[in-house]
Amino acid sequence: MDQFRNDHAATKTDLMMGVYKTDEGKAHVLSSVKKAKERLFADPSWHHDYRESLIGSKAFREASIRLFFGDKSSVVRDKRVASMQTLGATGACHSAAVLLRDHYAPWKSKPPCVYIPQQSWTNHAFVFTSLNIGASFLPYYDPITCGLGFTTLKAAIYDLPPESVIVFQTGAQNPTGCDPSQEQWEQLASVFKERGHLALFDAAYPGFASGDMEEDLHCLRLFVNLDIPVVLAATYGKCFGLYCERVGILSIVAPDQDIRERVEVQMRLLARSESGPMPDFGSTIVENILNDHDLESQWREEVREMAGELRNRRMELKKKLDALGTPGDWSCITNQKGMFTFIIFATSTMSTFSSPEGYL
């Protein structure tokens, strides 16, 4: 990044950060977020004192649960989702790792280990290994098709020890842009159900795959409806454009209200020991948008527009590569989704990946 900043070439392009930017290269600020900020600044009761809860305001957490799990979900209706505000999805993954390490029963009799797609966000493995939790990789990307290698992925998950913890992204997968189809998610859910696996979903880019929040969260809700153990780590950094505000949420689906309350006790103890009360500015913006019908509708439309613009940029890039006669089949650019494109092709000397480095 230092080399990039010091390079004065007019055509340089930063491909390092997962940030949705304008054509001018600036971080995009959503109009719904601007309106929510204006209302917040005009509120005479708003203050900078510590908030009452260590795990985020009740209104923020309840709005988040409704957004991700759906208003009509039985786990929402029965108040079975424990939740805590976190420092982005990284903080949510970290808190999930601590709680699983200390309380996930199947790990009491064997060394804790999570299973992560070979091509995944590079920090996923480090979050767990830094807590002395093992991390092993699952086959994911197929360099022959430049898409998801579903058959090998499904077989690998079936062969894992029962009650394994598997990390998946809900959509617009980083770094491949390759997601299972709804039918493939249903097949994976059947394997999870049969083998007793726990799914740790990372929702970093909801809405960026299809433009529709409901469609992009289908896999999460499918697993929950089938009573598969689910932990959700999510961030509002991308879909609200609140990158530096670090607004995240960790949710754990419990069997009943009593266990949900016990889980939230552990969440409060964890927050107390690691961070204290969460920052309030970004979460209040999210809370106010999700609890206002007009602002939420405007925000959802803005997410659709961003997803549509990402698709347009993909088509434009492929068109220019084809016009230049660039060797190779560049259809992967338009077949993949979201902010990331994975363009490693198969060669006679490369059949597997030994590390998650070398992304393009």
What pLDDT digit, counting tens, does each position of 307-324 carry?
Answer: 999 999 999 999 999 999
Res. 21: pLDDT tops 60: yes
- Token pair in block for residue 244: 């530096």
Q: Which are the contacts of 350, defined by CB distance < 8 A and separation ≥ 6?
A: 143, 344
- Token pair in block for residue 46: 């708003």
The string of pLDDT tens digits covering residues 186-231 is 999 999 999 999 999 999 999 999 999 999 999 999 999 999 999 9
- Regarding pTM above 0.85, the answer is yes
**Do you know the residue count of the chain?**
360
**8 Å CB contact between 213 and 300:** yes
pLDDT bin (cut points 50, 70, 90) of residue 246 is: very high
* Stronger pLDDT, 227 or 23, i.e. the higher one: 227
**Range in 250-259, 290-299, 332-341, 343-352 with the lowest mean pLDDT:** 343-352
**Mean pLDDT, the chain, integer:** 91
Asked, as a colleague might, if the bond just before 175 is cis with ω within 30 of 0, I would say: yes
Give the catalytic positions in this structure.
121, 202, 238
Of residues 100, 84, 67, 68, the one with CA closest to residue 167? 100
**8 Å CB contact between 63 and 290:** yes
The string of pLDDT tens digits covering residues 260-318 is 999 999 999 999 999 888 999 999 999 999 999 999 999 999 999 999 999 999 999 99
Per-residue pLDDT at 354: 34
Our measurement of the distance from residue 154's CA atom to the centroid of its chain's CA atoms, rounded to an integer in Å, reads 21
